Chain A
Amino acid sequence: MTTYYLIIGNGAAGVSAAEVIRRRDPTGRITIITDEPYPMYSRPGIAYYLLGQVSDTQLYTRTPSFYRDHRFDLRTSRVTRLDIPRQTATLTDGQQLGYDVALLATGSTAVPATFPGGDLDGVVTFDTLDDAKNVLRRARRARQAVVVGGGITAMELAEGLHHQGVRTHFLQRKDRIWPRLFDERESAIVAAQIRHEGIHLHFQEEVAEVIGRRGKVAGVRLQNGPELKCQLVGVAIGVRPNLALVRDQPVEQDRGVLVNLYLQSSQPTLFAAGSVAQVYDRWTDSYQVDSLWPSAINEGRAAGYNMVDVARGLPPSYAYEKGTPFNAALLFGLHLTVIGRVGGSLRDGEGETLSYLSRGSSQVWTMPFEEQVRSAWDQKGPNSVRVVLNGGRIVGALLLGNQALADPLRHLIEHEVDISPLAGELMAGRFDALIEVANTSPSS
């Protein structure tokens, strides 16, 4: 009897799951539903497309024959309703698809602007390839733009618009960039780079209202009073997991769909992976959401493996262990790497739970510590390293500029290497010894 697998979402998690399913089950029917008119593409790559570094079609991550070769039935549609007890999905055109096992890999979507005028033509977000095309098209006509938000996506939007020749104002609500992640000195390094690029950076400034003319963006009025003329407003204040299909359903959920170690939801035939899933993290002993590409791939693969077990009537057998959340980015010519736990600061009275996750980040990064942690710094010009120590181990690191220590630090964090003998050196800002320790410590 043929097994029917339904995968909702054609991104990193969905496609990774489909690939693993196909390897284990050569005859199963695998349907992938996407509401975008494209084959799988690199979501992080849309920033490079906006910067003119790559073409749109080059962002497609697989060969043109990929879906056919794997016998994936890719459908451009939208699931409007998921009937979990009856194991049926309804598509936009009313068609019903039965399934044996389904994967929710719907990702997340930018939180819309909350200020008045946020629905005017010219207020944009930056989630998808179509968003990138929209921004690019509008940038060709716009003279001036305003970008709000503090994470990687906001910085990518500001940099991309500036690159497209648009005079760009970048607004930060606080006196720091990305205050949940960066400390004062890191923010100062990034700020200097942003200004050096020629982007107009404003601290402690927010949009009070977008001013429209004939339904289109004509400018913004700032909280502190002045008005800025602009034709484009970029909003990147965070993302929300796309939970619409399971909301009001008997599926355990918090910020995302709560899954067990097998990526299985509280409903045995429904799995979740990628940024819609809330996954157990052993570092914090809690369930966390990541909006990270490698997390989505790994969760997709693990979910796919276990979906085949469940389809065969067996218990899921592959227990997933979430890795150290990691991301690397190049922003305004400055390299940024974040690894593990860099320590949430509640000084601002704003914990992770009170605000949205930024795309390209992990809740784990900024989870506040209960234990006593210490941070060591080294800073030379635009290069900075922050190492977070808990007991005799490094639990997190943030690097700006020079990346020589990125791989050694990743190694020490992932393998929980005891660096107690070096703690004094690190606290004194001497980091070179880390490279030697990383090179000589055991690897898995």
Chain B
Amino acid sequence: MQKQPLAAGRPEIRGDAPTKASGRERFAADCYPDNLIWAGAVRAGVPHGRLQAVDSAAALAVPGVLKVLTAKDVPGPNRHGIIHQDMPVLADDRILYPGDAVALVLAESREALRRAIKQVRVVVQPLPGVFDPEAALAQGAPPLHQEFADNVLMAAEIRKGDALQALTACAVVVDGEFSVPMQAHVFLETENGIARLEEDGGVAMTVSTQSPFRDRFEVGNALGIPYHKIRIVSPHLGGGFGGKDGATVQCLLALAALHADGRPVKMQWNREENLAAGYKRHACQLSYQLGAKKDGTLHALHCQLVYDTGAYAHLGGEVMELGMEHAGGPYRIAHTLIEGKCVFTNNPVAGAMRAFGVCQPTFAFESMMDLLAAKLGMDPLQLRLRNALVKGDVNCAGVRLTTSTDIVGCLEMLQSHPLWRQREAWKRQAPANTRRGVGLAAVFNAAGYGGKVRDAAIAKVELSPKGAIVVHNAVADMGQGNASAFLQIAGHILGQDASRLRLRHPDTTTAYPSGSSSAGRTTYTFGNALIRACEELRARLINRAGLLLAVDSDRDVRLVPGKVIHPPSEREMPLEQLAAFMPQEDRVCISQFVAPICEQVPDTSKGFLIGFPHVIFAYGAHLARIEVDALTGAIRVCDYLAVTDGGAVVNPCMFDQQVQGGVAQGIGYALMEEVATHEGAVRSGDLATYLIPGALDLPDVISCAFQGREESGPFGLKGVGEVALNGPLPALANGVADACGVRLRQAPLTPERVLAAREAQQCI
């Protein structure tokens, strides 16, 4: 039977599905090298203080314990970070949150490790702590980082026109204060990796990481090892969502490897450690004023966003920057003043998480749109349609949109969907003690790193000696399926079916730096580089085959599954045979792509380091139909529709996977997820107290694609990894307001908050 080559646009089966479904796929967690040593961190347990002593005598007496390392065992500067190198590998003086690593234990077994960690005595002289931005900004608050006055990592503004003046001229103004909590990623495969010292003094690691290339710099800078001597492989991740962007285990693992007498070291955070010490989404307080003309045209926005970045900088400034670029929603607003502060506290470290900085202001502005619609007496969908951005408009950050912008198309698709059209009849059928409501959200999310950062990829594709096409991936696949998309692209261009396509996991030794797996950028950026590499390889294979088949013109030489053919002469050559004739250097193609940047950067921003502005956005229109149980306050999401503009759709199944998964995390964020802390220590410390949605908590999310095209994208696509997560919180809050007339401004929308709001309003 003829094999079919993979083709862009078809819902091809993911290349990684068979090995994952059979349990054969080896995640980093599944690596157990021979003769391994287990490593584990001792954490401070106090939110703020000066480290006085680490007493490891009792720990060293536990049978099976080999070493207990402290800061004095760290060569090099002992500081790591992505933008700011402010995190110690092992604390040497200041403790800034309870998860600060203070010692590293090496042991023969996990049991010995667990016992020893409990026996290490850490002596800290406590200092007063600050546990929310207000406290951190108050007069007399303890300064947490010398280089940052007043505990402010970044203060910035986006100013377009004169919002304060324009608000006074608005026919209608609404205001609101909103608050969203810290969220945890809860990838199922916790932070982990293995490491081994190499003969040249370098370290080889296999890590569950989103950024193997950048990790080398973090580890190298912290430990004084030249970055090119650090080799990192990232297998498929059991989830990442941003929480594995930035060193987690890497510096500790490398340190352990340096002290392991040549033995391989393994570190696996258990779930409690992941929740206590892993990165989080920033909690945020938002204050909004939105004004419109009588006909519903948005006219002025003034908002203030305060992000709690926790003990260390991580990507706090960049998270806030992106949030501020999105603070006005996917709408035309003539005048905007967006002010942001990113503040240090002694809380867990906030870093990157899917919908990076954006889901926080999305809650606010999409709630505000409904408040505005109510005050204007306008239908909320009409209000959004009236103001929705189109290509060529200037957005709330002052950036003129030169790329595909199809939010209107998404809203129109939603408008014609039966879930919207039949909403009133549906609401009227609410059962006893139940209130039904419908809520909308218009969302958007930029892809890519933005301005002043190189956003680029280098792709390598190879014809193997056995005649297979090997894609050397360089951007970690954390489940989003970029690796599968790359195989699909390679199959499409080189005319091959799945059995001929191989993926090599990102390996810093054999692949090329291509940035992190984040920001919805990998299929777009690496995909574009890969297209060029594959086209070059196709041309080359056709040319070499033409030579070997002795045809006078390559015009009719074609690649089909497994071979090269020349129909006019009926000559053909299996790929294995072709490969045998080609030297290795000839079988490898490398090409590159740099993502477009904004050509006309507006003069609207102040205070950002990097990121401003972004130029490519995915858009979405969401509809939630909910039921509120009037007796318990519980919200049930009965139906959920997400219409997404991701440009062209290369793999419809994978497109839906991203949207459904993003909505699921968004519903968790909306209804039940909140990292509860007390004085910096995480109280929701396991999966019984930090709840994510299970199969009974979610409806069948309907994902529709608005079929568009982004000219600069591979096969016309844009990244859609993040946009869907932004919708549920505002859509559900708007649904609750529609169902019960109560406006919730604090997430998550717990049954308790719903009931309290209803009682306060004495709802029937």
Same complex origin of A and B:
no
Q: Which residues of B contact A (CB under 8 A)?
A: none
A interface list, Cβ under 8 A from B: none
